[in-house]
A and B are shown apart, each in its own frame.
Chain A
Amino acid sequence: MSRKLLLEKAHVENIRLYDVYRREGGYRSVEKALKMAPADIVEEVKKSGLRGRGGAGFPTGMKWSFIAKPEGVPRHLVVNADESEPGTFKDRYLMEFIPHILIEGMIVSSFALGSNVSYIYIRGEYHWIVDILEQAIAEAKHNGFLGKNILGSGFDCEIYVHRGAGAYICGEETALIESLEGKRGNPRIKPPFPAVKGAWERPTVVNNVETIAAVVPIINDGGEEYAKIGVGKSTGTKLMSACGNLNKPGVYEIDMTISVEEFIYSDEYCGGIPNGRKLKACIPGGSSVPILPANLLLTTAKGEKRLMNYESLSDGGFATGSMMGSGGFIVLDDNQCVVKHTYTLARFYRHESCGQCSPCREGTGWMEKILLNIENGKGKMSDIDLLWDIQRKIEGNTICPLGDAAAWPVAAAIRHFRDEFEWHVKNPVECLTSNYGLAHYADPIHVPVVA
């Protein structure tokens, strides 16, 4: 049983309410933090080795230290609760069940960053969570943890919840800021980075919900204590939202030392694949990270057991590895079709492209059309190479990472499952009613012996 930091109290009855949360030890970190110097809090977060939980895994303490501090200009903390990556639903769970841990983390982080007005930018589809958060904010304010002169420290802080209108792109930090300002959610061209010119041209830090919530145990126990959990540069605990062909899909808090195999098959976590089926493939970190076949998922190309952490999941680069991403763990059994799956993702990215820059606007639609043809048995062999070429020309050439996010799943699917694509082309009738199955995707990888 690994240690839980965020979800430890998630099942206490009425933990959603302030009184219960406070009784269970909530808001201790605010009391502690307000007696510290803001720079020391940043230092503590740096020591903890906490990495951004939104997908990129950038060290949070370092991000905080980049914030510009011009005289007389307000700064802002914006919490990114736009969680719209397919397969990711960890923030939803956290906000729905223990909203106060987010509010608590935000007060501490706002104090560290000097933000007197902080925002939660939440996706419009989470409309009921807005009510939960606003209730939590009202309770916190009523009890003196928000508003003017918090706990007599002289620090003022207000938190506002801002609802998005249902666009994936608004999870990209600069598009989120545009949307927060009331504009069209188009990503900005960087530089300037939000840490220098963010919302209303003021220095802004945008952090994921889970990242901010993790600040609470870091302050309570100290950064060094937090860094002891986990392995290497993957410190602390991570929320994983597991879905797909699993016996027990759901949100799990892991300490990043367990193996992928254990996560999928142990009864403590996902409990294996239902109906006696076999593992075929998995996207370990949300829809935009590369898909891996079963053999490469469970072991790295070097033949080592793959662990559930940033380094191990990305071991081998994109050639044989993937990414931790946002923790949206999607499992496909041998009854799933990778071509259809890739088409579904391509359709999503085509629909969510903001249309600002040419490669993404035009390329995503093109890939979707070709994939639909292959899926429907109308594809050609040359289409597979064409797809490869299109994704190659999108990746890295766009303003924001949506282009990369659209290109990577297609690239990985062709890289690892090319014969399944070819099977679709060669069997245009059969592919409509049956699928390629497990094939060789779970076969042991031949690891060359190094003398």
Chain B
Amino acid sequence: MADEIKTFKVTIDNITIDVAPGTTILNAARQIGGDVTPPAMCYYSKLEGSGGKCRTCLVEVAAGSTADPRPMPKLMASCRTTVMDGMVVKNITSEKVTDARNGVVEFLLINHPLDCPICDQAGECHLQDLGYDHGKAGTRYEFKRRTFEKEDIGPYIQLHMTRCILCYRCTYVADQITDKRVHGILDRGDHAEISTYISKAIENDFSGNMIDVCPVGALTDKTFRFKNRVWFTKPVDAHRACENPKCCGKATLWLRGDEVFRVTARKDEWGEVQSYDGKPGWICNTCRFDKKKTSNWTVEGLSTISRHSVIGANKYAGLEMPNDTIKKVLNGRDPKLLMNIHNVSGVNNPNIHLSEIDRPSHKDDFAKSGEFVKGEGESTQWGLPKE
């Protein structure tokens, strides 16, 4: 029986999945996908040692394992907690988690500038997404926001410390991908900052990957800054035979017309760099900053963009819809989304005179809605015409 690979059964938000021992709760949730996956601002699966810091991925462990089914007393950082056989985790089904996560998002935003319209990261910013999902309309913070002096860290990367959320990802990139780390965290607490000691410029063939891992607008591409908004550019997958043996040569070009505005590594649905043959596809600075002509590259076609982030909100041919898990999370209940009302109730249909509707839509109407929609040739989910 040596061939048999042992797996652990873990239940996350009522969905049970088998995963390999040693998998973290977050990665198990990512295998399920959709809404049950906790957000992660600091964890980056390709960077060893990352995670545990931002606290947005906190989950409730309702039962530790089959052997020891006691619940864990505190909320756990799902990115750094490994699953046990028979573990029961609550993420979006736990009020405690929602409350704590809203708190963390509030903490992250109290000192973060709310000037997305002038920030270059807008549209692909993870904090922006997190704010949409968990933020409140107003702030309870009535004090001056923290700012930092600008520091020049070289010709390619713009450091804007005021926007930083101290996820430490860029320091892990410098430690693990570049030859030598010349930047780090100086000082501590709320005045801790990312800095090169005595304004030393970061010069390394792979330093540009720090831009890709930065979840916010703290590290941005100087060769692209303010040239265009990301949602106006069209991402295409392309590759070139790069001379650098550590560079994977596979990248995403961000085009407008035929002009290459920006080159980044290819990202997966979690906003992380894609892996090829088990190795993360980091790209070198030559590919990123110097090869800005389509003639430098072999274009493969449109990139697949996840719905995640503003850039995925519309119009991309390669738009991927997330795995919809809500029915499973609710143990088979299938509540009608607000948008379905448009299909069911006649009030929004201009062809039906309002006087012909004898009463407000009733819950019984929903029972009929399946047939009604089918007859009209519409999908039940979004009220969009079927292709």
Binding site for B on A (CB under 8 A): 167, 169, 184, 189, 350-359, 361-366, 369, 386, 392-393, 396-399
Contacts and interface: CB of A to CB of B under 8 A. Distances in A.
A365 B143 CA distance: 10
B166 A355 contact: yes
B142 to A, nearest CB: 8
Given A351-B189, A354-B189, A355-B192, A399 B52 contact: yes
A358 B190 CA distance: 9
B160 interface: no
23 contacts: A167-B188, A189-B77, A189-B80, A353-B189, A355-B185, A355-B189, A357-B52, A357-B53, A357-B55, A358-B54, A358-B55, A364-B190, A365-B111, A366-B107, A393-B100, A393-B103, A396-B74, A397-B55, A397-B74, A397-B100, A397-B103, A397-B104, A399-B77
A355 B190 contact: yes
Contacts of B51: 189
A366 B141 contact: yes
Nearest to B189: A353
Nearest to A372: B143
Interface in B36-92: 51-56, 58, 74-75, 77, 80
A401 B181 CA distance: 30
Contacts of B108: 358, 362
A252 to B, nearest CB: 34
A397 B192 contact: no
A72 B89 CA distance: 38
Nearest to A395: B74
A353 B191 CA distance: 10
Contacts of A353: 188-190
Question: By DSSP majority rule, is chain A's interface helix, strand, loop, or mixed?
Answer: helix
Contacts of A361: 107, 166, 189-190, 192
A399 B81 CA distance: 12
Question: By DSSP majority rule, is chain B's interface helix, strand, loop, or mixed?
Answer: loop
Nearest to B111: A362
A357 B54 CA distance: 5
A393 B136 CA distance: 15
A365 B54 contact: no
B166 to A, nearest CB: 6
Contacts of B187: 355
Contacts of B58: 397
B110 interface: yes
A356 B103 contact: no
B100 A362 contact: no
Contacts of B53: 356-358, 399
Nearest to A403: B55
B122 interface: no
Contacts of B146: 365
B165 interface: yes
Contacts of A354: 188-189, 192
A366 B110 contact: yes
